[in-house]
A and B are shown apart, each in its own frame.
Chain A
């Protein structure tokens, strides 16, 4: 988030809502997890657009209903199965890299508990 006099109002509200260091660390971690998930969905949708595939065609290629793809790419689907992610990647001719690493020692980590790079 850009730091400015305007964004300070939002930051101040966050600070008065998440009052302990532990709460703030958890807040950051959860935000980073949401961002990682959003970026994964964006990466898939961009790969789909690059491949000039409609959502219906992508759905056909992995054997699901078009509504499943729509729900997935617009963030409606929760707890997407790893198998679905692998099938999507295969159909789009991309791969998804999941790395398991130790969290950095500093509490103010830039790394969420779940970071997925596509």
Chain B
């Protein structure tokens, strides 16, 4: 066995949070998507997101049935979704996706901690693809967040939150 190696990776922030991207007209597409879902689906997606945040998003295993890091499409002209993560759930013949970006440096531009930013979502039938027009909107949200760091805020944490 080889000797211990020093990690060359940048230190991961210890504390993370989930936050919702906010559009210029003060809408939270990620929140709107989640609140419109069937309750059982919303519950599963919230559990996944909470687990990803608690583990630290860069450390959560990707490629599984519930959390994936998207890659650049090989097809010409398609939206480049690389760098976006998706929390996933399936209910019958429908697949549900909530798209997120990881912002390690969120604390440096006014957020409380390193953040998993929930951008928006999409629902599709099994064996179909999300339309490029929907990916394009998510990609625009990503770029707008990177430019503005605009997120939704509430004054108080719920009393029950651990």
Interface residues, chain A, CB within 8 Å of chain B?
1-15, 17-18, 21, 24, 27-28, 30-32, 34-35, 38-39, 41-42, 49-52, 71, 73-76, 78, 93, 108
| In contact, A13 and B46 (Cβ under 8 angstroms) | yes
Residues of B within 8 A of A93 (CB): 1
Q: What number of B residues sit within 8 Å (CB to CB) of A? A: 51
B157/A38 in contact, CB under 8 A: no
> Taking A6-B151, A17-B39, A52-B2 as contacts, is the C-beta distance between A11 and B158 under 8 angstroms?
yes
Contacting pair A2 B49 (CB below 8 A) = no
Contact B19 A6 (CB under 8 A): yes
The CA of A3 and the CA of B161, in the complex, are separated in Å by: 9
Given contacts A13-B31, A50-B2, 17 further A-B contacts (CB under 8 A): A1-B50, A3-B17, A3-B157, A4-B112, A5-B112, A5-B153, A6-B20, A7-B113, A8-B157, A9-B151, A10-B118, A12-B158, A17-B46, A27-B47, A27-B50, A52-B5, A108-B162
- Minimal beta-carbon separation of A71 from chain B (angstroms): 8
Q: Is the CB of A7 within 8 A of B18?
A: yes
- Selected contact of B55 from candidates A28, A38, A52, CB within 8 Å: A38
Please, how many angstroms separate the alpha-carbon atoms of A5 and B150 in the complex?
Answer: 12
**Least Cβ distance of B71 to chain A in Å?**
13
